[in-house]
Structure 1
Amino acid sequence: MRFNRAIDEIQVLSFDLDDTLYNNHPVIAAAVQAMNDYVNTLAPWRAQGPEFWLKCRKQVALQHPELTNDVTRWRQVALRFGLQQAGFSPAETETHAEAAYQAFATARSQIDVDQSVLDLLASLRTRFRLIAITNGNVEVERFNLAGQFEQVLMAGRDGRAKPHTDLFDAACQHCNVAPNQLLHIGDSLDTDVQGANLAGCRSVWLNNQGVRYRYQGLADIEICDIHALSLLLT
């Protein structure tokens, strides 16, 4: 654990979810595959590959840039757009877009957080209040993070995506704490650390992704392993 700035008076720990508390890469890959598998069974001559759906997402984002703050609506709108492009009627489009998204959402929730991480959260809960702040659309209540947080704030539903400060502001208001009393833990410098810093909150960068980020600011604390957070209890 490397401290770049001194922190004190922390009352609330907020956690990013995807790639912070579990490896999300295989989960998303499986969810996208489940969505594609559903769509591709509708009619072989209408089957479209991943490249088609990626183009749909990009096209929808160009037409409606506000959707990038809500990944659930973005994917749903892109599904409808793609199905329309493939020649489905309006009624068929609605039916199949909903079914395809449900296939995605079900696979998206096939997550098993390691018991050691759950034990860490239980230990931290003895001293701090725990919440989650995510740009993703994972449904926490559908897997074994259910009940771990007093509040889960999601981009789109609760405000603009990180690094916008909306979710951090809402967290501080919900917990009735000053921004410097909330410590946010996440794997992304661009979204988690930048967002927390902009909101005046404290930040922990979980440096475990091997990604080159654009944001040049420093987190208050840098760690390489989520279990290093146990040092906050000492």
Structure 2
Amino acid sequence: MIRFNRAITPVKVLSFDLDDTLYNNHPIIKAAVQAQIDYLNALPDWQAQGRHYWQHCRELAVKRSPALVDNVTQWRKDTLQLGLAKLGYQGAQLEQHVSGAYHAFADARSNIVVSDEVLSLLAQLAKKYQLIAITNGNVEVERFNLNGVFDLVLQAGLHGKAKPHPTMFDQACEQLNIEPKHILHIGDSLDTDVHGAHNAGCQSLWLNDQQARYAYRGLPDVEIASIHALKYFL
């Protein structure tokens, strides 16, 4: 299914969200969170705090530094630092466990295999368009089989505020020397992807396959039910 809500301006760049757009991120993030929990629960004093301790520390970290909402990687690291320090860890031991817990998460977080069908589709699209990625997530593209697919990868925190803020879209336009109207951003979220693209003056394509509820009521320029509907743009 492909639905056009507006006429499309000629597209030169296809911009992709990553998580839940090019692969199913739900089991991946679940495994990554569990890997971090397993690491931390091996520390008896952490485990003794109960299952709500992480969320308490997470909320405290962002209360102290509100800008963390735009950088999920730093938010996780700061939460680990705060939570472990509150338990009395300090110095080299503190850094050891912050690093150990984060890498337990990050290693599992990058345990992604994008399907051959999606990789083939991207390779075909790359013959006609520049491909870039704009993500709010903390996945490390160079660690799995999307490595080398995109001409540019922009991540919230590292390269600007999180979508729907237009910062990363603006940066993409500047780096590629292109007008926003020639970028079509493709993602699964109305709130971040479609809203963000519209805020930046880019075109939007919504992958409507998550059965989620969204606050944003703007219409995407294009709507599809499967990523493979992008074959239309070939």
Structure 1, residues 70-120: CA drift from partner, whole Å, max 9, x if none? 010000000011112223224322221011101111110000001110011
TM-score of the pair, normalised by structure 2: 0.96
Q: 1:206 touches 1:222 (CA, 8 Å); kept in 2?
A: yes
Structure 1, residues 28-82: CA drift from partner, whole Å, max 9, x if none? 111111111111113x243145422122112211221100100100000000111
Q: How many residues align?
A: 232
Q: What residue is the counterpart of 1:73 in the other structure?
A: 74
Q: 1:36 touches 1:49 (CA, 8 Å); kept in 2?
A: no
Rounded Cα–Cα distance in structure 2 between residues aligned with 1:89 and 1:61: 21
Which aligned pairs between 1:17-32 and structure 2 lie closer than 5 A? 17-32=18-33
Q: 2:45 touches 2:87 (CA, 8 Å); kept in 1?
A: no
* Structure 2: stretches of 5+ with no match in the other structure: none
TM-score of the pair, normalised by structure 1: 0.96
Q: 1:84 touches 1:90 (CA, 8 Å); kept in 2?
A: no
Structure 1, residues 166-218: CA drift from partner, whole Å, max 9, x if none? 00001111111100000000000000000000100000011111111000111
Q: Secondary structure at the match of 1:172?
A: helix
Which aligned pairs between 1:13-162 and structure 2 lie closer than 5 A? 13-42=14-43, 44-47=44-47, 48-162=49-163
Q: Does 1:168 align with 2:169?
A: yes
Q: Secondary structure at the match of 1:31?
A: helix
Q: What residue is the counterpart of 2:220 in the other structure?
A: 219
Rounded Cα–Cα distance in structure 2 between residues aligned with 1:49 and 1:135: 29
Q: 1:20 touches 1:206 (CA, 8 Å); kept in 2?
A: yes
Q: Which moved more, 1:119-128 or 1:52-61?
A: 52-61
Matched letter for residue 188 of structure 1: S
* Structure 1: stretches of 5+ with no match in the other structure: none
Rounded Cα–Cα distance in structure 1 between residues aligned with 2:205 and 2:56: 34
Rounded Cα–Cα distance in structure 2 between residues aligned with 1:89 and 1:174: 42
